[in-house]
Chains A and B, each alone.
Chain A
Amino acid sequence: MSRMKLVLALLAALAFAALPLLTSSNYILGVGLSALIFTVAAAALNLIYGFTGLLSFAQLGFWGIGGYASALTVMTFGGNFWWGVVWAALINAVVAIVVGYPTLRTNRHAFVIVTLTFALLVTLIARDWVELTRGPMGIANLPAPSAFGHRFASTGDFYWIAWAFSVVMLAFLYALCSSRIGRTLVAIKQNEPLVRAQGISPMPYKLAAFAISAAITGAAGGVFVFHLGIVDPLILDFYYMQTFLIIVIIGGAGSFWGVVVSGVALSALPEVLRFSADFRMVIYGVILVLAMFVMPSGVAGWLRERRLTRTREALQ
């Protein structure tokens, strides 16, 4: 990463870290930490959809499984929050490999539908496997995380956990997306037969991207439920999937920074559009439809097109 960009990124990260020092409003801090966590989930979706080209609705399922995994680790299995997040990541990685292996071999159409169905099945299980998940009541009263004797009880404290989590996850994703592996994923998305003709087997890459994005999304869900204080089948509400999708699409599928900036910006949006929940969803839907026609590659894509036109002209 160029020196300039590195400095900017560090400054931005520090600016975000400073939020609890600038305000004591739990409301703003709550919005802020949701923004960070949602951005991580959207970045993970970007990895599988933007970079690898696979529209996966399974992310919602991983998010939910992650939430339940971390909650259960603490409430049923006597572990702590940190282990909960680790388990959330690991379990989802395994599930993703098991589900992904057969699913990635089907065609594009079927992949989308199977991932969608997976998310639905997870919702059904969350609601109906009462012995494990406590059904529609959910698992409530999730305790505040603690480490080294300090309880992260306030929203401000939890904000820092969310901040540290998102910085680590985004740094990892950045490293991955800008590596040769990331470039291969992009190549697979653009021209899979060519990739095969060049000696690369696409399957391990797709599977790895699927598993990694699942693990990260799951971990994000695992963190998020502790902010909510409860996990119930509502964690699998399609609203979350729509939010992640809209962040990726507006930012620009396949653009790392586009999605990150979009994630932070759009998470503040619900607060601006504080009409009834239904009307807000209508607006999301309208944005989605409009974006598909006006800016299908998102803001980042639009910027890229402009740069490309200039390059093209320069070379002609």
Chain B
Amino acid sequence: MTITGTYLLQLTLNGITLGLLYALIAVGLSLIFGVMEIINFAHGEFLMLGAFAMAFALPVIGLLYWPALAVSIVAIALFGLVVYELLLSRLRPDEFERSILVTLGLSIIVMHLVQYFFTANPRLVDTQFGFEGVEIGAIRITWTRVIAAAVAAAAFAGLYVVLRHTQFGRAMRAIAQNREAALMIGIRPRTVARNAVVLAAGLCGLAGAAIAPIQLVTPYMGQFLIFKAFALVIIGGLGNIPGAVAAAVGLGLIESWIGGFFTVAWQEAAVFIIMIGVLFVRPDGLFKRGSMRVG
């Protein structure tokens, strides 16, 4: 196979898109961990629901991308709110194993309900853009991919602004950095936790909706991605947002390059092997555990 510059560029662009989408998932996980000290096993299901929401909304709105995207994000954010109020709000920060099992249970319930009602058949999601794309030199990228990357990047920019410059965001960082101090100055943990979950759910919903036109939608699509997201969060350091983003984009690129030259099998195993390697060399992850520093 000739390794041309354009091939590598194509792989790189794909890698960045993939990385940004992974980052959306990982950041949500990291956010929830930073604020609540729990790991949300149902995170992948938020993504899957986002994809399904997109799959159902599009035909109803005449395949218009943007409205469907908006609807999906709102729907999943609302779902996150419900999950928080019903389940997550009852968990205390020191109950790590219990939180895993609760969210695991939730993940089982959601995934199998979806599979029960909508079958496991993979769905192809069509948008107003169809398969049209843009040509940059010898490379062809579909609009759906371009938009996915752009939307993800925009989401990060927005997240940065929110975390750094709004009360909403600062409160989250305060709780993540030093819970007691934050409580003492009157930050209400329930409000912040709820906001974090809703925000994380929204990000996942966004990621799912953006992925839906790019690959097949199945009820179990969230399951595998979530394990990669865990790996990313660990590599980046639990609770460390920039770390998670860096790790995610890195992973996207590595996966894309490996996938371009080796079989799919190793592509999938790669991230886990790297994660384990990192954990053994630096038990606290590559970057320090979350102060949720944004800058």
Contact = CB atoms under 8 A, between A and B. Distances in A.
A128 B268 CA distance: 11
A296 interface: yes
B64 interface: no
Contacts, number: 103
B273 A121 contact: yes
B268 A112 contact: no
Interface string A114-158: 101110110011011000000000000000000000000000000
Given A278-B116, A282-B112, A117 B265 contact: no
Interface string B92-118: 000011101110111111001101100
Interface in A233-270: 238, 242, 245, 249
A266 B113 CA distance: 22
A108 B272 CA distance: 18
A110 interface: yes
B47 to A, nearest CB: 17
**Which of B105, B227, B265, B268 gathers most chain A CB within 10 Å?**
B105
B276 to A, nearest CB: 6
A288 B116 contact: no
B90 interface: yes
A109 B237 CA distance: 11
A136 B150 CA distance: 38
Given A109-B238, A242-B108, A114 B279 contact: yes
B96 to A, nearest CB: 6
A276 interface: yes
A208 B244 CA distance: 34
A203 to B, nearest CB: 14
Nearest to A282: B112
A118 B107 CA distance: 20
Interface in B103-146: 104-109, 112-113, 115-116
Interface in B56-87: 87
Contacts of B100: 55, 112
A119 B77 CA distance: 31
A108 B115 CA distance: 32
Contacts of B231: 113, 117
A285 interface: yes
A119 B155 CA distance: 33
Interface in A73-115: 102-103, 105-110, 112-114
Nearest to B97: A55
Interface residues of B, number: 37
A281 B120 CA distance: 14
A293 interface: yes
Nearest to A289: B105
Nearest to B263: A128
Given A113-B230, A117-B230, A124-B265, A296 B98 contact: yes
Given A121-B269, A282-B109, A296-B98, A289 B87 contact: yes
Contacts of B115: 278
B112 A124 contact: no
B102 A289 contact: yes
A182 to B, nearest CB: 20
B234 interface: yes
B113 A102 contact: no
B39 interface: yes
B48 interface: no
Contact of A128 (B96, B101, B265): B265
A286 interface: yes
Interface in B255-295: 263, 265, 268-269, 272-273, 275-276, 279-280, 283-284
Contacts of A125: 269
Contacts of A205: none
A236 to B, nearest CB: 13
A279 B116 CA distance: 7
B238 A116 contact: no
Interface in A274-306: 276, 278-279, 281-282, 284-289, 292-293, 296
Nearest to B283: A106
A284 B101 contact: no
B97 A289 contact: no
Nearest to A121: B272
B102 A113 contact: no
A116 B108 contact: no
Contacts of A109: 39, 96, 234, 238
B57 to A, nearest CB: 24
A285 B112 CA distance: 9
Nearest to A287: B105
A282 B97 CA distance: 21
B268 A292 contact: no
Nearest to A120: B227
Contacts of B107: 285
Contacts of B104: 242, 245, 285, 288
A75 to B, nearest CB: 23
Given A109-B238, A113-B234, A118-B276, 11 more contacts: A55-B100, A106-B280, A106-B283, A110-B283, A112-B100, A121-B272, A124-B272, A128-B263, A128-B269, A282-B113, A292-B102
Q: Which 7 A-B pairs have the closest CB atoms?
A: A285-B108, A288-B105, A285-B109, A128-B265, A289-B105, A278-B116, A281-B112
21 contacts: A102-B279, A102-B280, A106-B283, A107-B283, A110-B283, A112-B96, A113-B39, A114-B275, A117-B231, A117-B275, A120-B272, A121-B269, A245-B101, A278-B112, A279-B112, A281-B108, A282-B116, A285-B106, A292-B105, A293-B102, A296-B98
